Amino acid sequence: MTKKKIIEKILELKKKRKAIILAHNYQPPEIQDIADLRGDSLELSLKASKTDAEVIVFCGVFFMAETAKIVSPNKKVILPVIDVPCEMADMITPEDVITLKNKYPNAPIVTYVNSKAEIKALSDLCCTSANAVKVVGTLKEKTIIMLPDMNLARYTQRFYTDKKIIYFDGFCPFHHILLPEEVIKTKEKYPSAVFIAHPECRPEVIDLAEYVASTSGMIKLAKQLPYKEFIIGTEVGLLYPLKKENPDKIFYHPSPEKMVCPSMKKISLEHVFNALENLEFEINLPEETIKKAYNAVKKMLIL
């Protein structure tokens, strides 16, 4: 089948199935182009909770599809490729959470959505990279546990001198790998460019950033700021929507070979076609997990 034919078939099947296609900002360009909504984790979770579609085809990684199922348990949530783990989400186990809970029994647990449903189910509240600072600000407690990303936790800590954030030592290998030397080199090469970092980057990299934002936050900043050139400190897939939405601006990447999340690159148009035709691979979760995780996700979505 030609690319044009596959796209036609996808659109036909989407109608027939009363489906919606959601795609994360890091997805391959052809997937972003056919999606009904392309966005960051927060935007996609909100859309999944509000849509009246019967089927949600989620083009992203496993935790994103699980989150869609948690907020829309009565809908069919389909991942076009099943083997799409988030390496950070896989770093923490329920036992790790229970150990921290026992050590700090009065500290609420704020869990990054980049985590498995079973971890969300043990948490008080969820957050994304777009709202972590705001979420922590709603809590009256002075000691807070943040999981599983130590970099997002340490970034959030910068905003609260009156709170102590206890963090787990998880991280995203494709953000943590960016080194300050690489950013400094790119800044030297492009002295007019403004550096925007994702909060999953290590603190020494955040120190060099003029702005820190989620993936969609970066797209908005590039649009709103008067500058013409930007250095982008996140997974390399973001360059596609950045350039598409800001054709008059120039984007540089400090480490385009290393900052590639393999799970985000696996879904093709053929997979989306198969997902709609055969309704596979469906995400199902135990009812009890959905119920507990829903509380934590919902509290974030209504903020």
Binding site for ligand SF4 (CB under 6 A): 61, 86-88, 114, 172, 174, 235, 261, 263-264
Q: Which CB atom, from 102 or from 224, has the smaller least distance to ligand 13P?
A: 224
- Least distance from C-beta 234 to ligand 13P, angstroms? 7
Q: Which CB atom, from 25 or from 72, has the smaller least distance to ligand 13P?
A: 25
Six-digit token string for 182: 């690489």
Question: Within its chain, how far is the Cα of 254 from the centroid?
Answer: 20
- Least distance from C-beta 39 to ligand 13P, angstroms? 7
Among all chains, which residue has been given the structure tokens 């996808």? 10
H/E run at residue 287? helix 287-301
- Least distance from C-beta 228 to ligand SF4, angstroms? 27
Q: Which CB atom, from 67 or from 72, has the smaller least distance to ligand 13P?
A: 67
* Partner that binds at residue 151, options ligand SF4, ligand 13P, none, CB closer than 5 to 8 Å by kind: none
Residue 296's closest CA among 150, 183, 128?
Answer: 128
Q: Which CB atom, from 86 or from 269, has the smaller least distance to ligand SF4?
A: 86
> Can you tell me the distance from the alpha carbon of 279 to that of 293, in angstroms, rounded to the nearest whole number?
24
- Least distance from C-beta 145 to ligand SF4, angstroms? 19
First-to-final CA distance of the chain:
45
Cis before residue 281, ω within 30 degrees of 0? yes
What is the four-CA torsion angle of 175, 112, 86, 263, rounded to 10 degrees? -70
* Partner that binds at residue 87, options ligand SF4, ligand 13P, none, CB closer than 5 to 8 Å by kind: ligand SF4
- Least distance from C-beta 268 to ligand SF4, angstroms? 18
Question: CB–CB of 174/260 below 8 Å?
Answer: yes
- Contact residues for ligand 13P, defined by CB under 6 A: 25, 40-41, 114, 128-129, 172, 200, 214-215, 235
Q: Using CA of residue 19, residue 62, residue 98, residue 157, what is the dihedral sign?
A: negative
* Partner that binds at residue 129, options ligand 13P, ligand SF4, none, CB closer than 5 to 8 Å by kind: ligand 13P
